[in-house]
Structures are given as structure tokens and as C-alpha cells.
Amino acid sequence: MNKPLRRVAIFCGVLIMALLVRVNWVQFVQADEIKNHDKNRRVAIDRYSHPRGNIIVEGKPITGSTETTGSDFKYKRTYKNGKMWAPVTGRASQAFGGTQLEEIHDSILTGNDDRLFFNRTIDMLTGKPKEGGNVVTTLNARAQEAAFKGLGTKKGAVAAIDPQTGAILALASTPSYDPSLIAGNSKDDEKNWVALGKEKNADEPMLNRALRQTYAPGSTFKVVTAAAGLESGRYDIDKSTGIASPFQLPQSTHELGNEGNDARCDKATLRVAMQWSCNATFAAISNDLGNEEMIKQAEKFGFNKEVFTPTRAVASIYPEDNAPQNAQAGIGQASNRATPLQMAMVTAAVANDGKLMKPYMVDSLEGPRSVVEQTEPEEMGQAVSAPNAKKLQDMMETVVNEGTGSNAQLPGVTVGGKTGTAQRGEENKDNPYAWFISYAKTESGSPVAVAVVVEDSNAKRNEISGGGLAAPIAVDVMKAVLDSKR
Amino acid sequence: MSSINTGINTGSNTTVSPGGLPSRRNTELALLIFAVLIPVFAYANVGLAKDGTIPTGMISYGLGLGLLAGVTHLVVRRYAPYADPLMLPIATLLNGLGLVLIWRLDLEPALKPANAAPAQLMWSALGIALFIGVLVFLKDHRILQRYTYISMAVALVLLALPMFFPGVNGAKIWITIPGVGSLQPGEFAKIIITVFFAGYLMVKRDALALASRRFMGLYLPRGRDLGPILAIWALSLLILVFETDLGTSLLFFGMFVVMLYVATERTSWILFGLLLSAAGAVAVASVNQHVGSRVQNWLNPLALAPNGGVTETAQAMYAFGSGGLFGSGLGQGFSRLIGGIATKSDYILATVGEELGLTGLMAILILYGLLIERGIRTALAARDPFGKLLAVGLSGAFAIQVFVVAGGVTALIPLTGMTMPFLAQGGSSVIANWALVAILLRVSDTARRPAPAPAPSPDAEMTQVVKP
């Protein structure tokens, strides 16, 4: 019986060997994949087992961590003035995951980033608890506060950029939410989460309107159309365009006028057309240059492309369209759609003598002991030639000094701007969006360009105008930036 | 040691090497000291990881385990002086580590049953008492031959009993005795039916091997030789399938095939067994929903449950993966996420994998492998066919159980739900396995004894059984 016994011995050995091979496969070959599987709760437990690094504005953290009990997770994210900063920070929630900066730079904030390996090793050797790194933002606290306070209870968004670098100075969106309310994973957090959700809350407080919502840019888009006109060489700032107002849209009987300003707008120069926001003039220029030219110019300002700040901003759209639609798109209507950030980029490029800088909001990533990554300003391209940019500035300054944007005047500072009242809804029956874009200028160039949009469904229709509702907010933001420079 | 043993292993069944073998009792004592010290250190490790202090129970736990090990050692020294020196230390080490792991899981308030470790310690003590009882009262394993048919009846009763008790987690494998708790009679039936198989096959093995007709290249034995054992075996399988205890039915099947193969020395049995078990497995998996879902979990271990939750299988895989090479350290893992009551029994290997890592898990598997191979070595060394069959049956059953549980937990094969011998929480399991080790030690003591009691010569039987 010994021969089969030996074979049984071998068979049992093979069984044990199969188990050994299997555990090696699972615990060595597959280990990394399983260990970091998104359903493996250990990932989250580890993530919240030590305080998270902070998001920093002007040297001060706008986030924090607090110890919690009663769950697997030891630390919970807290936010200082969470409602105001939510469009910048996003959220880091134990139950609902992370978004925006919290998510994009999660590995730095948790301290798991490969670039922090050296730090981690030192901490391990010296027995110090694991520390997360910090995300240092480019934001300006006073500008953010001005933007957030200015929007107040209204629905809308503000984006402000430093035109010379592309650094984002303010990014506000209202109505907003406090990410602290949903940072944990308790019953209360869940209740808050449901209450903030799209299904229960038509105001969508968790929507980042500055980056993720596109609006018809309305008359503020006329700056782009003017740029295209100047670049074509067919139009000049103080030369009569020869365009009659009202303008009859091509292939249509519809006439585009400018509510009572037709006399001023008839055969106006570009400067005057901009000053009084003449629809006829700019629709005709857009029509004259054609869809292709218009798309080209819009894309030079950053349209039709997502922007990563690093938080993703959705693409603003200048559409490929037929002649009548293209004419309307030239005055920021029809299928023309822009984010507040996009319009701030347009303004910034004009203020920066035509050079468009890539917008960014993270200045650097800091490990516990050293800077891990430093963002360098990056050029996106020359949106318009420098001389034409100067002419655009000239026009926008006229708008503020003696046109529809007079509400944006700042004593002792050169301000250029453009109002916009974007019609929307079928047959124009919904309340329009009030837009205002502007920049301030000093001897050393422009420190701030800002775009404001207010969607106010409660105001009386005839009270809504870019100059009235949006311009004061833009002024406050510009003032805040200028003050903090002094 | 092996060079000495090979002398007897390769020799014929009836010759005995003169002068006998060294008893190796001192080797066993030295190994036992390790087997007690390692769990004691593990115990301290858990306490330090969880509370930052040496746990208060460490001294008494260490003394208790040491005392149990000491007593077993003395009993082996006195009643089975030539027994294999490795099996007792391995069983002690596995049992001790199991106790530490269960105690460590007791510290997770979410896991049921609470306070399982003290109960497990009591069951272990009972198991060791049974171990001592077997060694003291069973002077010679051949006595068991007398109880061939009684053990058949007892095994069938034990297997059928759980049918009259409510099922737990889809399997009816428990009987509940008020005041004592629940027992898994299948664990005991495993040993008792091995005795029956060994006794029956020993008598009929030549008939089975020789008096057969050749049919389609296979040797088929006569119905009157094979019939009774096939009937009993089929009956026990039916009961188990009815109770949806698939792990145990697989165990019985495998054990039966192995013993039949060893008894008849005919390879065709293996082929036959493999074909039958494959057909049976497919049939059961396609009919039974409980099994079907386990097959699904095995094929896609990381897939989510129908309600969107993470399955136990996936949780166990996460535990293994997160353990990595060296593990998180005892007490620092999150096997509580597996949840349920299986964490301390079926899934206890997941805790080993997570907290002791690949290294620790491989060490445990190798300990099992060593124990199994020592059992088969005992079978090789045994001088009588009954002893050989008994030892290989018990070792084979042990091997299959280890493979089915560990393979199931690591998703190598579908999970069938049995306990990890010695390691897992469960009274019946630990008691039965101590008895199993005791019987193996008794067989090995008889085998290695210098002046063996005269065994019935297998050559004599060979001429007597075969009838036309």
C-alpha cells in the first residue's frame, strides 16, 4: 500500500502548494490593486486616520481637521467660512467623497503622494505621526469676501483673475453650501447631503457656477466681436462702421435694434457702439466676418475648450452655426455660452495687452518640510495683437467713463468694463442674466480682471441690467484687490 | 530523523528494524516550548497594539497554555513514548495562535459572538482532555477495527441529527443542546466514518482490487464487495447535500476516494472519483441557489452584492490584499469589516492574512502541510493495513478540510463553509481535531515502537478472502 500512499502524500503536498501559490498571488501580485480598491474601506479609514493637510489662502488655512468619535474615521474635515470658499475647496467628505481641490490634490493633503515619500520615511523613522501636505492657493481673501458678500442672497457667480499671471483671485458662487455640514458620515451629514442635493434643492447650492455653469454672455461678448473686427482690419475704433441700426438679420425679417438707442447706434464708430452696447453694430460685424472668423477669435480667448485650474471648468461654447444664428452669437445670444471664468479670461487678455495667461488657483504644493511643486504662470497665447488690445481697453474705458458701465468708476484708477444683459428663455420671457466684466489698471499694468454674473429671478425685469446689478460687485472686488496691493 | 525513518518506510510491512527508533520525546518538548511561547508573545503583541499595555491576562493565559502543553507532553511520554514528535507541537501552536486571534477579534465590539475566546479556551481544554483520554484508554489503534459497523451506525446518526434542528446561514449542520450550546456532529462523524472505511476496506481490499471485471478499461469490483460501502457513502452524501453542508460532503467524498485508492492500489479510482465529483459539483451548483451564489462570488470575488454592498468574499480579499507581505501587525487590521459571525471561524485566515501578512499566512499553511505530511508518514510507517488506512484517511480528511477552507477564503475555489482546524472558533471542531491528532499519535507510536505487538499478517488475509 505504500506506493499509493506516497502518491497521496504528493497530492496533499500539491494541495498545500496550490494554497501557497494562491496566497502569494493575492497578497503579493494582486495586493496593490486590492489594497487601493475604491470599495476597500481601509482606504478611507487610512485617509481619515490622521489630520488632513490644509488649503491655504494668503498664509492662513481655510480648512482644518477635527477629531470625531463613533465611527471608523478618526478625523473629519472642517472648513472656515465654508460657504464662501466652497467653490475653491470643494469638499472632502467621509461619506460622499471629495471634489475639486480636495479631490485633485488628495494625495498631497493625505500625505500619500509619492513625492512625499522621503518625508514619510523620516516620519516613520522618528516615530512622528503621518502628516499631510498643504495646498497653497493664489486666492485673495479680501477679493473673495467682496465677491461673496456682493452676491449676497442673489444667485450668481464671480471670477477674478490677475491678468499678468493668470492667478485666480476670487471664485465665488451663490447660493453656496458649507462643506463642513457634509464632511462626516453621521445621520446629520446624510440629511444635509439630501437637503443640498439637486433633487431637493432647485437652487443647486453645490454647483460651482463660476466654473461649471455656462450662461449666455450677452453684451459682454461684444468685446470679443470687437476684437475680431479690429483684427480683421476692416474696422477701427473711431471710424464709422457704416452699419445702420436697426440691423436686419440675414435670411430673416427680424430686425435687431437697441431699445431707444437706435439714433446713437446708427452708423456708429466701434467706440460709440461699445459705449452704448449697440446690438445692430456687433451683430452686423459678426455677420460680416462670418462664423469661421468668429469661432477663431473666440477660441483665441479660450472658448470651446475645458480649462483646468486645476479644478475643471467646463468649455465655453462659440457654436458652429448658420448666418442668422452667428449674427446673434456675435452679441452673446443664440447658442453662445460662456462660464464666468471664461469672461474673466477675455477681460484679462484685453487688460494684459492681448496676452492670455492660463488661469490657475494653486500656487504651490507644500510637503511638511519642503515645497513639492510650484506653479509657474503659463501663457495660453496672444488673443489679440497688443495695439488692438490697447484699442479694446480704450473702448472699455469709454464704457465706464461715459457709457453704460458708469457704475464701475473708481476714483483715481483707470477702469475698463462692459455690461451685459443676456436674454434667455423662449421668446425672451425669463428674467435675463446681468453680466459685468471689467479690469482695473495702474501704472504697472492691470492687477485684476473680473467677471460677474447675476441670475436674479426675483427682481423686476426692467431693473435688471449688468450695470445696475453686477457692476457694483465687480467694483468691490477690484477695490479689494487694489487695496491689498497697497 | 528522516534518514532513520526511511529505513522502515521502504521496508516491507512485516519486518521491523531491530533496536527501534529514538523516541524523540525531548525534541517534542523543545518544540512545545516554542509552541507555547509564540502564542504568548502574540498575545502581548495584541495587547500592546490595542491598549499600549501588556494585557493582564497574559500570565494566566501563558501558564494555562503551558500547563496544557506540559500535561499532554507528559501523557505522550508515558502512554505513547514513540509517537511522532512534530504533531503535538504543531497542534498546540495552531490552537494557541487560534486562541490569540479569536481573543483579538473579541476586542472588536461589532463582531459576534462576543467573548468567544474564554469559551474557545474551555473547548480546547476539553479537546485536550479527549486527546489524553484517547492516548490513555486506546492502547492499540487496532482495537477500533472491532467497531467497524458500530461506527458506521454512529456516523450515520450523527450526520442525520442536524436535520431535526433549525439551519443557520443556509446550512443545517448544528444540533443545539440546551445549556451546552451547539455542536457540529459532522466534525466527529469525520473521524468515526474514517474508522468504518478503514475497517471495511482492510477486510475487502483484496477482493476489491483483484476480483473485478474489466469494463471499458476500468476495473469494476463485484457489487457485493463494493455495494455496502458505496451505499453508506452515498447515504452520507445525500444527508449532507440535504443539509447543504457541501464542504463536509466534499470532504467525505475525497476521503473515501483516497482510502479506496490506497486500499486497492488502482489508479482508476482516482479518475472515477474526479469525474464523479466534477459532475456532482456542477449538478449541485446549478440546482442549489445557495451554492450558485457562492460560485458567482468565487468567479468575481470583488463584484458587489445585488444590493450594491460589498460582499463578504470581497471583504476577505480586501483583508488579504491590505495585509501585503508583512501584514499590519496583530491587532492593527480591519478584519471587522468582514462582519458577521464567520470572521472568527471560516474567515479567520483573512485576519491572519491581514495582520500577519503573506509571511504569517504561509507559515500557518506550512504548519498545516507539515502536520498532514507527518500523518501520511505515520501511515507509511504503520505496519498493519488498518493503521495505514486509518492514518491516511484522517490525514487526507484533514488535508482536504484545510484546502477547502483556505482555498475558499482566498477565492481559489468556491467557499463551502468549514472551519479551519484548530485555528477557528468552534467547540466541536477543536475537540474533534484533538481526537484526530491523538489517534494519529497512537498509530505512529505503534508504528515506531521497537517491539510491536504481533499484527495480523496481511498475507494471510490475501488468500482467505477471495472467493470465486
Report the 3 state secondary structure along chain B. CHHHHHHHHCCCCCCCCCCCCCCCHHHHHHHHHHHHHHHHHHHHHHHHHHHCCCCCCHHHHHHHHHHHHHHHHHHHHHHCCCCCCCHHHHHHHHHHHHHHHHHHHHCCCCCCCCCHHHHHHHHHHHHHHHHHHHHHHCCCHHHHHHHHHHHHHHHHHHHHHHHHCCCECCECCCEEECCCEEECHHHHHHHHHHHHHHHHHHHHHHHHHHCEEEECCEEEECHHHHHHHHHHHHHHHHHHHHCCCHHHHHHHHHHHHHHHHHHHCCCHHHHHHHHHHHHHHHHHHHHCHHHHHHHHHHHCCCCECCCCCECHHHHHHHHHHHHCCCCCCCCCCCHHHHCCCHHHCCCHHHHHHHHCHHHHHHHHHHHHHHHHHHHHHHHHHCCCHHHHHHHHHHHHHHHHHHHHHHHHHCCCCCCCCCCCCCCCCCHHHHHHHHHHHHHHHHHHHHHHCCCCCCCCCHHHHHHHHCCC
Q: How confident is the model at residue B4 (pLDDT cuts 50, 70, 90)?
A: very low
Flag whether residue B388 sits within 8 Å of chain A, measured between CB atoms.
Answer: yes
**Does residue B241 carry a pLDDT above 60?**
yes
Exposed / middle / buried, residue B443 (Cβ in 10 Å: 0-12, 13-18, 19+): buried
Number of residues written out for chain A: 486
- What are B134's three cell numbers? 484517547
Query: Of the residues A65, A173, A180, A219, which is catalytic?
Result: A219
Cα B234–chain centre separation: 21
Q: How high is the ipTM of this complex?
A: 0.88
Report the residue of A7, A10, A11, A12 to disrupt the B interface, i.e. the one with the largest count of B CBs within 10 Å. Answer: A12
Task: Give residue A263's identity as a one-letter amino acid code.
Answer: A
Report the residue of A32, A38, A40, A124 to disrupt the B interface, i.e. the one with the largest count of B CBs within 10 Å. Answer: A40
Q: How confident is the model at residue A290 (pLDDT cuts 50, 70, 90)?
A: very high
Question: Cβ distance B211 to B221 under 8 Å?
Answer: yes
Flag whether residue A14 sits within 8 Å of chain B, measured between CB atoms.
Answer: no
Q: Å from B176 to nearest chain A CA?
A: 34
Q: Which residues of A405-442 are buried (b: 16+ CB within 10 A; e: fewer)?
A: bebbeeeeebbbbbbbbbbeeeeeeebbbbbbbbbbbe
Q: How confident is the model at residue A238 (pLDDT cuts 50, 70, 90)?
A: very high
Helices (H), A105-240: 106-110, 117-126, 141-151, 187-196, 209-212, 222-232
Q: Which of residues 16-45 of A touch B (CB under 8 A)?
A: 16, 18-20, 22-24, 26-28, 30-35, 37, 39-42, 45
Number of residues written out for chain B: 468
Flag whether residue B7 sits within 8 Å of chain A, measured between CB atoms.
Answer: no
Flag whether residue A244 sits within 8 Å of chain B, measured between CB atoms.
Answer: no
* Higher pLDDT, residue A245 or A474: A474
Flag whether residue B324 sits within 8 Å of chain A, measured between CB atoms.
Answer: yes
Q: Tell me if residue A465 is catalytic.
A: no
Q: How many CB pairs under 8 A join A and B?
A: 138
* pLDDT at position B360: 95
* pLDDT at position A459: 58
Average pLDDT of chain A to the nearest whole number? 90
- Which residues in chain B have Cβ-Cβ distances shorter than 8 Å to A19? 365, 402-403, 406-407, 410, 412
Flag whether residue B368 sits within 8 Å of chain A, measured between CB atoms.
Answer: yes
Q: Which residues of B233-251 are buried (b: 16+ CB within 10 A; e: fewer)?
A: beebbebbbebbbbbbbbb
Q: Do A19 and B406 touch (CB under 8 A)?
A: yes
Q: Å from B373 to nearest chain A CA?
A: 6
Residue B379: closest C-alpha in chain A: A5
Considering only A163-177, A243-257, B174-188, which range has the smallest mean pLDDT?
B174-188
CB atoms within 10 A of CB A7: 16
Q: Which of B111-115, B348-352, B445-449 has the highest mean pLDDT?
A: B348-352
Q: Do B402 and A19 touch (CB under 8 A)?
A: yes
Task: Return d(Cα A435, Cα A470) in angstroms, integer.
Answer: 6
Task: Return d(Cα B439, Cα B436) in angstroms, integer.
Answer: 5
Task: Return d(Cα A77, Cα A85) in angstroms, integer.
Answer: 14
Percent of chain A with pLDDT over 90: 66
Task: Return d(Cα A332, Cα A309) in angstroms, integer.
Answer: 24
The tens digit of pLDDT for each residue in A197-233 reads 888 888 899 999 999 999 999 999 999 999 999 999 9
Q: How confident is the model at residue B5 (pLDDT cuts 50, 70, 90)?
A: very low
Q: Do B320 and A41 touch (CB under 8 A)?
A: no
Considering only A278-292, A375-389, B89-103, B172-186, which range has the smallest mean pLDDT?
B172-186
Report the residue of B322, B347, B372, B390 to disrupt the A interface, i.e. the one with the largest count of A CBs within 10 Å. Answer: B322
The tens digit of pLDDT for each residue in B250-303 reads 888 888 889 988 988 888 777 777 787 777 777 777 777 777 788 888 888 888
**Does residue A255 carry a pLDDT above 80?**
yes
Q: Do B403 and A28 touch (CB under 8 A)?
A: no
Flag whether residue B412 sits within 8 Å of chain A, measured between CB atoms.
Answer: yes
Flag whether residue B158 sits within 8 Å of chain A, measured between CB atoms.
Answer: no
Task: Return d(Cα B204, Cα B209) in angstroms, integer.
Answer: 9
